[in-house]
Amino acid sequence: MKTVFALGQVGRFASAAICVAALSACTTTAPVTPAVAAKPSLQSMLSQASTASGAGQKEQAVTLWKQAAVAYPADKSPWLSIAQTRYEAGQYGDAIVNAQEVLVRDPNDTLANSIIAISGLRLSTRALADLSRQNNLSGSLRTESQDLAKLLRESLGEQVLVPPVRSRAPVAAARPATPSAPAPAKKGAKNEGSANPFDALK
């Protein structure tokens, strides 16, 4: 009877030891998760992109701004920088698309609205110049263009959509007036007007 009892105690002790060993083995073999790198701040990303832009690496800067836009989707700053860069490069279509991303995040952003307005006018000017050169500015296209030009003149409060360049008053006052001086100025103004694609819309 005592032998059976002793064997039972030994069996229980052995079972407990096996359980403890098994549990300790489980804890030691658990995979260690690697530490996730902290996301860089928006300011550091924008600063890196601005540095690249300042060094003349415009496409690299645009790539960095796009990465910042993905990392911080609610912020308008990366999109505004891309829109300005595209505008300065004369890529007006891309400038408009990126400025619209700014307006999604801030509908009242003045710079984005300005980029869209001026880029749109420059694209329209190019298209109208091409149509004028090809003698294809006629019919409903001409009428609609005239209506749009009138709307633009009224919005800007100007009688002429693209006013001719005026000579600066201080320069004219500093030089003595000569009879032949006014004639070239008029000729220059006339030439500018004839090269203006909006002439047909005035």
What are the pLDDT digits (tens) for 147-179?
A: 777 777 777 776 655 555 454 444 444 444 444
Residues 46-67 have pLDDT tens digits of 999 999 999 999 999 999 999 9
Q: Which residues of 155-191 are buried (b: 16+ CB within 10 A; e: fewer)?
A: eeeeeebbeeeeeeeeeeeeeeeeeeeeeeeeeeeee
Q: Which fold has domain 42-156?
A: 1.25.40
0.75 surpassed by pTM: no
Instruction: Report the C-alpha gap between 1 and 189 in whole angstroms.
Output: 126
What pLDDT is recorded for position 12?
Answer: 63
User: Does residue 5 or residue 84 have the better pLDDT?
Assistant: 84
State which amino acid sits at residue 128: L
The rounded Cα 73 to chain-centroid distance in angstroms is: 13
